Structure 1
Amino acid sequence: MLTRIITGIIGIAIAAFVVQEGGAYFAGFALVLPLIAFFEFVQAFDGRGANLTLITGIIGLVLVWGCAWLGNSDELVAVSTGIALGILLETVFLHGRVRFLDACLSIAGVFYFGLPFAHIVMLRFLSEGQMLATPLGDFEFGCAMVWILFIGTWASDTFAYFTGSAIGSHKLAPSISPNKTIEGFLGSLVGTTAACAGLGVFFGFPVKEMAILGFALAIAATLGDLVESVAKRETRIKDSGRIIPGHGGVWDRFDSVLFTAPLVYYFVLLTDLMTK
């Protein structure tokens, strides 16, 4: 437990620095993390006899990240198409070594990790130059939204854990994640809604819209966690890796964020939050 706490404190400090600094620091971390998570994904399925296309997958992740970092979201569809078709062609050129199912799993891994982190990059650099006045000083708009993304996701996990531990008795998805309870999920809904409403007050956003975002975040975070749980059962692993002492792998720590990041990005665009 002590190792977990110490690692968590160090992780939060690094995250705070990277999120606040933005620029190349943030973009760099947003590339390294999905690369590590994809490697964990490949290792997990290798243990079940799959032969995923690691090198091509890494190239695909870099290309997806590059579109986000350069602000070329329109080119992302073209790049994604090229990645999918390129990996599928490996079943032809490396016939006998790369099976069709291996290629499909590889494509799924690239998009599963690459696209959400691309959305995180695009979210951080939304409306550059727009500043928000807060009690702790000015925040860039994109920086504020990334904090809402991470704090909202962490709040969902935290409220679900403590509520479930205290009063949880009805299983949410026993065949997928036996420890999750309906009570924990409801606690997550209430807690995350309140947390995001509070962040709305802090950053000067409409409280009602932030409360709606918090409610949606709790649902998305839970679904993201359950998706990784399904993958773990499929690959028969407990943790995706050991790179984060006491916390497992990058995939373990960001499974919920993979679902909440696109949600926050499109919520901002659909509600035109940048002008409010």
Structure 2
Amino acid sequence: MLLRIITGIVGIAAAAFVIQTGGEVFAGFTLLLMFLAWFEYARAFAERGMGIALFTGFIALGLMWYAAWQRPEFLALACPLIIMVMLLESVLLRGGTSILDALASGAGLIYIGFPFACLLLLRNLMPETVFTTEIGTFTFGNAFVWIMFIGTWASDTFAYFTGTAIGRHKLCPSISPNKTIEGFMGSLLGTTAVVAGLGYFLNLPLEEMAVLGLLIAILATLGDLVESVAKRYVGIKDSGNIIPGHGGVWDRFDSVLFTAPLVYYFVQFVNLMGK
């Protein structure tokens, strides 16, 4: 437990530095996380004897990252192109790549690559809009990256403590035996309150921010369950051990893979600054 706490503190400090610095530092760190999560995904499915396109995947992720970093208008083109290339591998490399391998590779690349691309897009969003607060100045994208991470962490924290205290009814016992309905309800209420509170702190509309908090709690839980399904399928407990006491990058960012696209598209379609 002590190792887990120490690693968590160091991780939060490192995340704060990267998020606040932005620019090339944030972009480079995003690419590193994409690569590490993809490596863990490919290694996990190799446990089932599947031939995931590891090195082709690194190239595909680099393409998605470059599109998000330099040419966002091409990201929508990069995603279907990656799927097509993965499927073509089953034709061109029939001896070594099955159609199931190709499908698992393509799905994994979108599952991992697109959310991290959205995270990069979110951090660079509306740099001309600035929030001035008692603790510092934040650009729009900077603030909403924090909102996404804090909301995701709040969801996990409220679910854990509420479930530990009063959890009685299993949420998805065949997938994640420790999750309870009571913990999920605690996550919904707690995350909604936390994100609404952040909205109040930044002078953003409370109703819309409360809705965002509710959606973050739902998507964070689903993201965690999706990884649990995958790990049960391949027969592993943790995706890796690169983060002492916390497992792998995929383990730590399983919920973010769902909440990052949510927050990015939410702020695109909901007018938060016009109220």
Q: TM-score, normalised by structure 1?
A: 0.98
Alignment partner, residue 160 of structure 2: 161
CA apart distance, 1:130: 1.5
Q: What amino acid is aligned across from residue 2 of structure 1 in structure 2?
A: L
Letter in 1 for 2:108: G
State whether structure 2 residue 32 is matched by structure 1 residue 32.
yes
SS state of the match for residue 233, structure 1?
helix
Contact 2:4/2:244 (<8 A) preserved:
yes
Aligned to 2:177, the other structure's residue is in SS state strand
Alignment correspondent of 2:55: 55
Once residues 221 and 151 of structure 1 are traced to their aligned partners in structure 2, the CA distance between those partners, rounded to angstroms, is: 11
Q: 1:253 matched to which residue of 2?
A: 252
In 2, Cα distance between equivalents of 1:206 and 1:80 = 33
Tell me the CA shift for residue 275 of structure 1: 4.0
Q: Is 1:12 matched with 2:47?
A: no
Secondary structure in 2 aligned to 1:133?
A: strand
Q: Distance in 2 between matches of 1:98 and 1:274?
A: 49
Matches within 5 A, 1:104-123: 104-123=103-122
Question: Which amino acid is the alignment partner of residue 204 of structure 2?
Answer: F
Q: Retained in 2: the 8 A contact 1:134–1:204?
A: no
Matched AA of 1:3? L
Q: Which residue of 1 aligns with 2:132?
A: 133
User: How far apart, CA to CA, are the structure 2 residues paired with 1:249 and 1:6?
Assistant: 16
Report the 3-state secondary structure (helix = DSSP H, G, I; strand = E; otherwise coil) of the residue aligned with 1:138.
strand
Compared CA separation, residues 110 and 92, structure 1 to 2 (3 A) = same
Structure 1 Cα separation of the partners of residues 14 and 30 of structure 2: 13
Compute the RMSD of aligned alpha carbons: 0.9
Q: Residue 274 of structure 1: CA displacement?
A: 4.2
Q: For 1:230, what is the secondary structure of its paired residue? A: helix
CA distance in 2, matches of 1:59, 1:208: 42
For residues 180-233 of structure 1, give each alpha carbon's deviation from its aligned partner in whole angstroms, at most 9, with x where no partner exists: 000000000010011001101111211111111101110000000000010011
Distance 1:196 1:29, change over 3 A: same
Separation in 1, partners of 2:50, 2:148: 34
Is residue 127–residue 274 contact of structure 1 (8 Å, CA) maintained in 2? no
Contact 1:119 1:261 in 2 (8 A): yes
Q: Is the 8 A contact 1:116 1:259 kept in 2?
A: yes
Q: Could you tell me whether the CA contact under 8 Å between 2:36 and 2:249 is conserved in 1?
A: yes
CA deviation profile, 1:106-164 (whole Å, cap 9, x unmatched): 00111001000111011001101221011112111110000000000000000000000
Q: How does 1:136-215 map to 2 (within 5 A)?
A: 136-215=135-214
Q: Would you identify which runs of 4 or more consecutive aligned residues in structure 1 move more than 3 Å?
A: none
Give unpaired runs (5+ residues) of structure 2: none
Question: Is the contact made by 2:208 and 2:272 (CA closer than 8 Å) also made in structure 1?
Answer: no
Which one-letter code corresponds to 1:30 in the other structure? T
Q: CA deviation at 1:82?
A: 1.9
Alpha-carbon distance, 1:78 to partner: 1.8
Q: Does 1:228 align with 2:217?
A: no
* Aligned equivalents of 2:209, 2:151: Cα separation in 1: 10
Q: Deviations over 1:223-255 (max 9, x none)?
A: 000000100110010000000000000000000
Would the aligned equivalents of 2:204 and 2:273 in 1 still touch at CA under 8 Å?
Answer: no
Q: Distance in 1 between matches of 2:105 and 2:53?
A: 6
Mapped contact 1:268–1:274 kept (Cα < 8 A): no
Q: Which TM-score applies when normalising by structure 2?
A: 0.98
- Long gaps (5+) in structure 1: none
Q: Distance in 2 between matches of 1:81 and 1:112?
A: 13
Instruction: Map 1:58-69 to 2 at 5 A.
Output: 58-69=58-69
Aligned equivalents of 1:47, 1:274: Cα separation in 2: 48
Q: Which residue of 1 aligns with 2:263?
A: 264
2:126 aligned with 1:103, yes or no? no
Verify the 8 A CA contact 1:141 1:274 in the aligned structure 2: no
Percent identical among aligned pairs is 62
How many residues are treated as equivalent by the alignment? Answer: 275
1:135 and 1:202 in contact (8 A); partners too: no
> In structure 1, what residue type is equivalent to 2:22?
G
Q: Secondary structure at the match of 1:95?
A: coil
